[in-house]
Amino acid sequence: MSRSLAVWGTTSGAGKSLVTTGLARWFARQGVRVVPFKAQNMSNHARVVEGGEIGAAQWLQALAAGVDPDVRMNPVLTKPEADGRSQVVVLGQVDEDLSRAAWRGRATSVWPRVVDALDDLRADADLVLVEGAGSPAETNLADVDLANLATADHLDAPALLLADIDRGGAFAHLFGTWSLVPDDHRHRIAGFVLNRFRGDPTLLAPAPEELSGRTGVPTIGVLPELAHRLPDEDGASFAPVVRGGRPRVGVVRYPTASNLDELAGVVEVADVVAATEPRHLVDAELIVLPGAKHVTSDAAWLRTSGVGAAIRGAAEAGVRVLGICGGAQLLGEDVVDADGVEGPAGVRVDGLGLLPLRTELHRAKVVRATTIELPRELARPWEAVAGRRARAYEIHHGHTGPTDDGRQVWSHGPVLAVTAHGLLEDPDVVEVLLGRRPTGLDATFDLLADAVEEHLDTEQLRRIAGFDG
């Protein structure tokens, strides 16, 4: 019989994904076969695994645990497309009926499939690490809370409750959440964790003891703010912090920018700025147009924001411009929504016109692992990456190019477009482009596990999870 441990947060952004990843590596180090699980994820950052796509967070957690990522680890992935509309992916595949269904009606429909996936997944595991979503105390959502309450109830799982102490009010967040969690679930909260602390944890006394006195729940540790290399669940965090002597990279943040997690290595070695205004691209040595969940609306945003004109100006000045998947589509002449994937069928929008490409969006979704193979001859300033190969994945609708021949790469002068994700996850490519080599995922997983070992009461942690001593 497998054991289970849930990781809940007092708020969104409390660090659930990161802490779950660290716990996955720490337990794996103890010889425990760990599998991550999140019943329902809302994110436009997905990865391709056998059978389809899952949220990037569970993909990373599986790698940290040393197991193959699996669609069962994130059976429901909701990908926002606009206010009030989202694409629903169930066990790796788009479910058109659920995507059109009313939001509250989805939970009843998908729960049996969630349970089947979870029971199948945990059959060969020693420990299921369950990442929650938002907060378990959102009383307006209790009846549809699959990721927190329903999953923990099905597994009879104890839970750690995290608070981001850097936000302030952490003890009130913990006590308030504990108080509002439904009575029949409150007993599951077995330990509090304070996350992202800057300073001396001894200064927190007597607050942890007072909180324990009020709730009966111990604080099992205080995790410091870590200079880790993993992205937030909703994408990499880009802060325009100039450290000196590092390349400046502008990442265009149109409204539905997606798969930003693949830029974590770039964030590590460069000063990365989220470009939402033309001025953000000034002095950039590399401009990246990332994936886009809703290409037609992002094309309009590029035009009205002035960022599109700034990109064209930079390209004319010889600045390297890289478009990835949806970003590649935006670099072309136009995008035609042939099947009405993003709106009315037949709508055409102008791209940036930097490459002679046309994109036709079709209902069928391309989801597959692949390899990016850059041409053996590339013009300046891309000649250093000519002939490189990188593991990659495709997640898109329709095709891009002069013809539907499966081609993945186009270039013209300083502009390069690739229809697959993954090029900037290759350490060799990043080193050649930016002059510094990222440390890679394993080093980050170990950093997180080291923090668990040093800053949490691991004896209590093992007992909470059902392991002795």
Residues with catalytic function: 325, 421
Residues 42 and 78 sit within 8 Å (Cβ to Cβ):
yes
For 56, how many CA atoms within 13 A lie in the half-sphere containing its CB? Answer: 24
User: Torsion angle, CA of 364/258/449/115, rounded to 10 degrees?
Assistant: -40
Q: In what order do the strands lie in the sheet with 409-412?
A: 271-275, 248-252, 286-289, 320-324, 415-418, 409-412
Q: Distances in Å between the alpha carbon of 383 and those of 246, 331, 374, 376, 415?
A: 21, 20, 10, 9, 12
Residues 296 and 262 sit within 8 Å (Cβ to Cβ):
no
Q: Which three-class secondary structure state does DSSP give residue 53?
A: strand
Residues 128 and 2 sit within 8 Å (Cβ to Cβ):
yes
Pairing of strands 334-337, 347-350: antiparallel
Residues 341 and 397 sit within 8 Å (Cβ to Cβ):
yes
Give 354-378 as a DSSP string: SSS-EEEEEEEEEEEEEEEE--S--
Q: How many CB atoms sit inside 10 A of residue 434's CB?
A: 20
Residues 51 and 58 sit within 8 Å (Cβ to Cβ):
no
3-state helix, strand, coil in the chain (%, to 5): 40, 30, 35
Q: Distances in Å between the alpha carbon of 338 and those of 86, 306, 329, 341, 452?
A: 19, 27, 14, 8, 50
Structure tokens at 378: 């590339």
Closest by CA position to 214, among listed 185, 160, 177: 177
Helices (H), 123-271: 151-155, 170-180, 183-186, 207-215, 264-269
Fill in the amino acid letter for 415: V
Structure tokens at 106: 């989805």
Q: Which residue has the tokens 């193979």?
A: 373
Q: Which three-class secondary structure state does DSSP give residue 250?
A: strand
In this structure, the chain runs to a length of 469
Q: Which three-class secondary structure state does DSSP give residue 61?
A: helix
Residue 102 buriedness (CB in 10 A; 0-12 / 13-18 / 19+): exposed
